[in-house]
Structures are given as structure tokens and as C-alpha cells.
Amino acid sequence: MADEDAPAMGMFERYLSVWVGLCIAVGVGSGVVMPGLFESIAAIEYASVNLLVAVFIWVMIYPMMVNVDFSSIKDVRQKPKGLCITLVVNWLIKPFTMAALGILFFEYIFAGLVDPQTAKEYIAGMILLGVAPCTAMVFVWSQLVKGDANYTLVQVSINDLIMIFAFAPLAAFLLGVTDIVVPWETLLLSVILYVVIPLVAGYLTRKKLDGEKNYDRIANFTAKVKPISVMGLLATIILLFGLQAPVIIDKPLVIVLISIPLLIQSYGIFAIAFGWAFLWRVPFSTAAPAALIGTSNFFELAVAVAISLFGLNSGAALATVVGVLVEVPVMLSLVGFANKTRVHFNSREYSNEVE
């Protein structure tokens, strides 16, 4: 990818933080006024995956999948640094810093504000967020920083494969239990819904548009459907916060307490990954998605596992929902920061990896 300034953003992307705030308010308000509606929506699920949420996420991901060119995936081996950063941060740093922050705040700093048993549940929910690297939303963040779509796909796919084998033992170790039950159907179905199906649809669309020979046609198509991706994101936010509205309204102080270590974790992990990429002279189109993948969470899986292990009304389930509340504005702020620092990456000479 050639060096260039950040792409111009349309109305949806330019004011995305405003739309997100409004959608959170609409979601919570709707959940309070129409709880029966969201109870009915919550029942539309299979293997703890809400099917309506899955549809919205699919709509969010599909437009960017059209840009994936399979012929260039083989070139990822020429740029191993971004993948190295993603894997090290996701599996060797992030889970342990999240557990450490949870223990620090809820067993020491906030010890007088929360009873010990509930504090342990909050820590458990935070740990589940830490061991679940992002799958779906990262394609949105990568698109907003004009990241390498093919490289992002490979990073997410490899993360998913590792997650299948590493999630249970790592969560068990950090939670201090040996008989943790992971809903494998939830994990596998989520990967199929959030990666495989939109990827196949994108490939078929690209093939129909004759993408190998007519890149302008691809660009025009994706420009037209791009607003659909943002609308899918906003619809997902309304639905998630509508489903969790009663808990959010009933426990505002606890939400603030949980948010503090989550914010420290998110900005700290991004600083580690993005700073490492800069010092390692990784191209921006690889560095930005690598840092965003490390920062973002697979909150759908974390919520499902928390409910499965501790119950719908548990502190662990609440902590994972707060993770969703924190993640969207944090990730938007990090996307903005990354785009502003693009020039510092593009003005440097890279070692052995080129855009």
C-alpha cells in the first residue's frame, strides 16, 4: 500500500463518536421502556449466540470483506512483524495484565467499596475479556485506519485458531479453576458467523465484479455500501445496550469502578503494541491494525462464557457488559490517534517490510 494521508471520512465516520453516544442512550432508554421486546430478542439465539446480533455484525463486516484480495495473502510472510506483535500482545501480555489490574483494583484499591465475593466475580469477568481477542469489530477499526485488509484477515484468522486451543486453559489458569466449561459451540459458531460467512460473501461479490481486472468497479461498489457497515455497528450497539439496560441503570457506581481498570488496560495495551510497531519500523497499514487487534476484545464470547460460568445476573456478566460500554469510545479515540500519527510512520524508512 502506498504511503498517503489518512482517507477522507464521510459524515457517518466523521461523527461516529456522536452516533455511538446517541445509540448507547437509545439502547438503554429502549431497554428500560420496552423490556419485553428485548427479552424476546434475547431469546433468539443458538449456542448462546444471539442471531440478531450476528446479522448486524455480518452487515457491519461484509462491505470491507469485498476488498479482501486472496492473491495477496501469500505476501503476508514477507511482513511477519505485525503478526508477531499481535500474537505476543494477545496471548503473552494482555491476559496477564488484565488479571493483574483486576486484582489490584478490586482486592486492594476498591476493597472497601465492593464485597469480596462480588469483587472476585468482577475480576473473573475482566479476565474473560482479557483472554478473548477481537474477531469481528477489528475489521471496522482496521477499515477506519485504512489498514491492510488482507493482513488484518490473516491476523484475525490465526487468532481464532489459537483461541480454540488456548482460551480454555488460559482462562482456567487465570481464574484459578481446573474445570472451566467453555461453550465450544458458541466459539465455533461465532467464528463462522463473524468471519467465514462474510468472507465467502465478499469473495463471491468480488469475483462477480471481476475484481482481478477491474479495481475501479470494486472501489465504486465498496464506496456505495460503506455506510451499511457503520449502520451495522450502530444497530449492534443499540441492541447490546438495550439487552443490558436494567443492569446498567441499577448499578451506575459499579460500572464506573469496573471501567477504570478496563480503561487503563486498553490504553496501556495499545501503547505497548503501537509503540513496539513504531520502534520496530512496521508500516502503518500493518502497525495500526496490529495494535487495535491487541486492544479490542471478543466481547460476544466473553459475555457468553461469563453467563455460562457465573449466571446472567452475576458480577462477571456485568463486567463483560461494561467492557462493551468502554470499548467502543476507547477504540474510536485510538483510531483517531492512529490516523493523526500516520505521518510519523510514513515519513520513516522501513527496515525489511514495505507498504
Q: Give me the residue spans of the domains in the chain.
A: 11-346
- Please report the pLDDT score of residue 274 as a whole number: 96
3-state DSSP percent of the chain in helix, strand and coil, to 5? 80, 0, 20
Cα(229)–Cα(166) distance, integer angstroms: 31
Tell me the β-bridge partners of 99.
none
Give the other-Cβ count within 10 Å of 320's Cβ. 28
- Please report the pLDDT score of residue 95 as a whole number: 94
Cell of residue 109, nine digits: 484499591
Give the other-Cβ count within 10 Å of 110's Cβ. 17
- Please report the pLDDT score of residue 29 as a whole number: 95
Contact 297, 132 (CB under 8 A): yes
Q: Is this structure's pTM higher than 0.95? A: no
State the DSSP code for 297. B
Residues in CB range of 127: below 8 A, 6 or more apart: 95, 98, 99, 102, 171, 174, 175
- Please report the pLDDT score of residue 10 as a whole number: 56
- Please report the pLDDT score of residue 348 as a whole number: 60
The DSSP code sequence of 332-348 is HHHHHHHHHTHHHHHTS
- Please report the pLDDT score of residue 225 as a whole number: 81
Ranges under pLDDT 50 in the chain: 1-9, 178-179, 349-352, 354-355
Q: 288: helix, coil or strand?
A: helix
Shortest CA distance to 190 belongs to which of 11, 46, 28?
46
Contact 135, 160 (CB under 8 A): yes
- Please report the pLDDT score of residue 346 as a whole number: 66
- For 214, counting Cβ atoms within 10 Å of its Cβ (0-12 exposed, 13-18 middle, 19+ buried), the class is exposed
Cell of residue 173, nine digits: 489458569
- Please report the pLDDT score of residue 136 as a whole number: 67
Contact 38, 243 (CB under 8 A): yes
Cα(301)–Cα(323) distance, integer angstroms: 12
- Please report the pLDDT score of residue 211 as a whole number: 56
Cα angle value 107/324/331 (rounded, 5°): 105
The secondary element (H helix, E strand) that includes residue 46 is strand 45-46
Question: Can you tell me which residue has the cell 481486472?
Answer: 213
Cell of residue 106, nine digits: 478490586
Letter for the amino acid at 162? I
User: How many Cα atoms occupy the beta-carbon half-sphere of 88 within 13 Å?
Assistant: 13
What's the distance, Cα to Cα, between the start and end of the chain in Å? 5
Helices (H) and strands (E) in the chain, counts: 18, 2
Cell of residue 114, nine digits: 465492593
Fold of the CATH domain 11-346: Na+/H+ antiporter like fold (1.20.1530)
Cα(135)–Cα(144) distance, integer angstroms: 16
